[in-house]
Amino acid sequence: MPYLFTSESVSEGHPDKIADQISDALIDNFLAFDPQSKVACETLVTTGQVVLAGEVKSKAYLDVQEIARGVVRKIGYTKSEYMFEANSCGILSAIHEQSSDINQGVDKQKKEEQGAGDQGMMFGYATNETEDYMPLALDLAHKILLELAALRRENKQIKYLRPDAKSQVTLEYDDNNRPVRIDAIVVSTQHDDFDTEAKMLAQIKKDIINILIPRVKAKYKKYAKLFNNNIKYHINPTGKFVIGGPHGDTGLTGRKIIVDTYGGKGAHGGGAFSGKDPSKVDRSAAYATRHIAKNLVAAGVCDEALVQVSYAIGVAQPTSINVNTYGTSKVEMTDGEIAKILGGLFDMRPYFIEQRLKLRNPIYSETAAYGHMGRAPQVVEKTFSTPDGKSIKKKVELFTWEKLDYVPKVKKAFGIK
């Protein structure tokens, strides 16, 4: 029987995403100057204020205030009327040294025996319903906001946009679990003030439907067939959205974990990613399980895969590895047998995850908005500066967990030609 499924996304100017981006900018700067840094950094943003808190063990000394201001400036909070502005917001740092009790469980004499930074379970998911092996509803929700942000920065076709925004996409699936059409789209965007609310609502709805949506269809042609004349549009459904960002709602690191992952498909272990160095398996093992799931589906072992791994704090070997192919397996094996083979292909000890995916590099700022998964791997050069004026450039590879580099190994292991 056909059914509906919905996913949401939020823009880089959403309060929670501002917090994520500041936390990950701090991670990147610490790792740039000291790759062995241990960092767990939380950020709170509210009207005119940024609060930084957390634990750090690092040889690097940073101007955390200027790093935070740089993030806020890049997002676009540069006007006083937003009541949260890069140059004038107050920034309080309550960052202190990491607990030695935790550190002794992570750092070991042999680096290969590095323990997990915490207990817990992490999930990775992949499906072949899109080219990037992501759930379609979430992929579309992200793409809508990426184009909306591009329109805001261009400031040509739509000139009233402010940084805060949210989107939501509802898809109809057929009896074969395949998406056939878009049923509903929700877009809420912060905006400048208008003369009247009626004029404002009419203009925004017209621009979203006639400017934004055609851009999405043109740029992502593979999705164009899903758009139809019967889509139910809900554009700024509450009406006025002038007050937004941290002035409209307090933001905290780690409150958008479903937006960051699979939009409600698959599963989530509950641990946030942003603000954590890769010794925290909440982050590194979630990337590693996505890497496994994506290569498993791309190799043709199954159409859909959910991979779970779990850890005990301070222990290197995972306590379990589990695979669920949702009955889509193309090989004559149980899911348990598939999991056993994958455990031999992918070393899931924290040190080996870090090495395989090159996670001790400053690669995290780019993950902190529009999803950690489903992004294109790429090499970029980044520049970092210290308070005393020193500057370094680093060439790094982003989104390594999205690479399909293990497809040949997976095919060989499962006898797929």
DSSP 114: P
Closest C-alpha among 203, 189, 147 to residue 13: 189
Angle between helices 64-75 and 15-33 (to 10 degrees): 130
* Annotated binding residue 162: no
* Annotated binding residue 249: yes
* Annotated binding residue 17: no
* Annotated binding residue 24: no
Q: Is 117 helix (H, G, I), strand (E, B) or coil?
A: coil
Residue type, 298: A
Strand partners, 187: 167, 235
Number of CB atoms found within 10 A of residue 261's CB: 26
* Annotated binding residue 165: yes
- What residue has token string 């906001």? 145
* Annotated binding residue 166: yes
* Annotated binding residue 272: yes
104, 288, 311, 318 from 108: Cα distances, Å: 7, 22, 16, 16
60, 184, 227 from 230: Cα distances, Å: 56, 9, 9
* Annotated binding residue 218: no
* Annotated binding residue 16: yes
* Annotated binding residue 55: yes
* Annotated binding residue 147: no
* Annotated binding residue 42: yes
* Annotated binding residue 394: no
- Give the 3-state DSSP-derived string for 255-286, with helices as H, strands as E and coil as C: CCHHHHCCCCCCCCCCCCCCCECCCCHHHHHH
Angle between helices 335-345 and 281-298 (to 10 degrees): 110
Binding-site residues for Mg(2+), in ranges, read 16
Binding-site residues for L-methionine, in ranges, read 55, 98, 249, 280
Binding-site residues for ATP, in ranges, read 14, 164-166, 240-241, 249, 255-256, 272, 276
Binding-site residues, in ranges, read 14, 16, 42, 55, 98, 164-166, 240-241, 249, 255-256, 272, 276, 280
Binding-site residues for K(+), in ranges, read 42
